[in-house]
């Protein structure tokens, strides 16, 4: 998509979140700040809810909210972590040379928590995709939470709260975020389409909402894709656009990078597909297999299908789509050598 994403330009306020129980929980947290575990399935609106909370909690949310995508950080190199503009001020050259990656990550989190809030009494550190946190990192995080509890609120977003150790869960108020119903998704789409002045009909909106299967992010991005392709969100436009979403070109690009050993670029394209465009891990996996069938043959193709089957089972467990699909990209890179 070339235009700004509607998920960003129409980021919801707390009152615009579709789930009534989530709105009530966040209002309670505004009155009494506390550490949180926000959990729910992909696309249910966990990150949007957290950002809505911090926009109301802080006068300068960009200054007083630090977001760390756990899957990205653990999959990054030491150099990538040290050079990330969010963290570079915490990491000097000596620390980068002398620290393991785990120590470097722990240092970044500790430093993020230690800074005084720009405004108000506290700041917020968000750990997203937290199901990917190793136990040793969780133990270190527990100590940081204890040390900086007076001026730092920790918000942990995850699809799998059972992956968190008991001492962390006991220090956090749980906020479940269920998948929105089709009717709730329709209401969100109607509000966005009205603000964008997009021609639409009820059947088209309902088709987009139903096709997303409770994934609100996917529904919003599908509506935007339909509008950009057809200039409207009607039944015919939505059916034609969403039945023929062409990801093959980007998948080809991603595999080109993987085969060339350029895994940072390959993962960047993977992130675009998973995060920016809202595809599920299953959809990206299907796209990779479609391209692989025309790209490989014989034993190589059999190995790809075997690994894809294992990854498909892992995706069903609710763990990190990015980590598992990156594993497949690594194998495809080896196939291209």
The sign of the dihedral angle between the CA atoms of 2, 4, 5, 6 is negative
- Strand pairing report for 123-128 and 65-69: parallel
pLDDT score for 134: 84
Among the three residues 132, 153, 176, which one is the final residue of a domain in this structure?
Answer: 176
Residue 30 sits in the same domain as residue 162: yes
Residue 38 DSSP one-character state = E
Kindly state whether residue 275 falls inside one of the protein's structural domains: yes
User: What total of structural domains would you count in the chain?
Assistant: 3
Q: What is the mean pLDDT of each run of 10 residues along the chain (337 residues)?
A: 83 97 97 96 93 96 89 69 65 59 74 87 93 86 92 94 93 96 97 97 95 91 93 93 68 85 85 77 83 77 83 73 82 65
Residue 51 sits in the same domain as residue 113: yes
Domain containing 217: what range?
Answer: 182-242
pLDDT score for 177: 97
Residue 329 sits in the same domain as residue 269: yes
The sign of the dihedral angle between the CA atoms of 83, 86, 88, 91 is negative
Kindly state whether residue 11 falls inside one of the protein's structural domains: no
Among the three residues 191, 208, 242, which one is the final residue of a domain in this structure?
Answer: 242
pLDDT score for 268: 85
DSSP 3-state assignment of 181?
coil
Residue 45 sits in the same domain as residue 139: yes
Kindly state whether residue 14 falls inside one of the protein's structural domains: no
Instruction: List beta partners, residue 6.
Output: none
In the β-sheet with 123-128, what is the strand arrangement from edge to edge?
A: 65-69, 123-128, 152-158, 36-39, 173-176
The sign of the dihedral angle between the CA atoms of 109, 7, 217, 324 is negative
Kindly state whether residue 164 falls inside one of the protein's structural domains: yes
- Degrees (nearest 5) of the Cα angle 273, 279, 285? 85
Residue 104 sits in the same domain as residue 237: no
Kindly state whether residue 3 falls inside one of the protein's structural domains: no
Kindly state whether residue 41 falls inside one of the protein's structural domains: yes
Q: Where are the alpha helices (H) located in 32-165, listed in sequence order?
A: 46-57, 61-64, 70-75, 78-83, 93-98, 101-114, 135-147
pLDDT score for 300: 78
Residue 80 sits in the same domain as residue 202: no
Among the three residues 176, 208, 228, which one is the final residue of a domain in this structure?
Answer: 176
CATH of residue 272's domain is: 1.20.272.10
Residue 25 sits in the same domain as residue 172: yes
Closest CA to 157 of 275, 271, 55, 68: 68
């Amino acid at each position: 998509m070339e235009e700004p994403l509607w998920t960003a330009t129409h980021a919801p306020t707390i009152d615009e979140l579709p789930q009534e129980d989530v709105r009530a929980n966040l209002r309670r947290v505004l009155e009494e700040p506390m550490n949180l575990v926000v959990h729910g399935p992909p696309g249910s609106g966990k990150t949007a809810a957290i950002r809505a909370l911090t926009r109301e909690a802080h006068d300068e949310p960009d200054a007083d909210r630090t977001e760390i995508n756990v899957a990205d950080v653990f999959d990054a190199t030491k150099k990538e972590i040290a050079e990330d503009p969010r963290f570079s001020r915490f990491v000097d050259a000596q620390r980068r040379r002398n620290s393991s990656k785990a120590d470097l990550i722990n240092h970044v989190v500790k430093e993020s928590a230690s800074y005084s809030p720009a405004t108000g009494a506290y700041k917020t550190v968000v750990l997203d995709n937290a199901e990917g946190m190793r136990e040793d990192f969780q133990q270190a995080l527990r100590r940081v939470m204890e040390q900086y509890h007076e001026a730092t609120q920790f918000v942990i977003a995850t699809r799998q709260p059972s992956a968190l150790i008991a001492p962390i869960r006991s220090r956090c108020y749980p906020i479940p975020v269920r998948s929105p119903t089709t009717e709730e998704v329709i209401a969100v789409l109607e509000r966005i389409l009205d603000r964008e002045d997009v021609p639409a009909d009820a059947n088209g909106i309902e088709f987009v909402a139903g096709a997303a299967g409770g994934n609100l992010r996917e529904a919003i991005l599908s509506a935007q894709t339909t509008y950009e392709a057809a200039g409207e969100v009607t039944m015919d436009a939505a059916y034609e656009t969403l039945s023929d979403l062409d990801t093959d070109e980007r998948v080809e690009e991603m595999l080109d990078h993987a085969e060339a050993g350029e895994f940072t670029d390959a993962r960047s394209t993977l992130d675009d597909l998973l995060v920016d465009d809202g595809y599920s891990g299953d959809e990206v996996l299907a796209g990779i297999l479609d391209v692989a069938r025309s790209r490989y043959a014989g034993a190589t193709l059999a190995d790809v299908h075997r690994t894809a089957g294992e990854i498909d089972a892992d995706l069903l467990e609710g763990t990190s789509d990015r980590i598992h699909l990156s594993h497949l990209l690594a194998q495809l890179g080896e196939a291209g050598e």
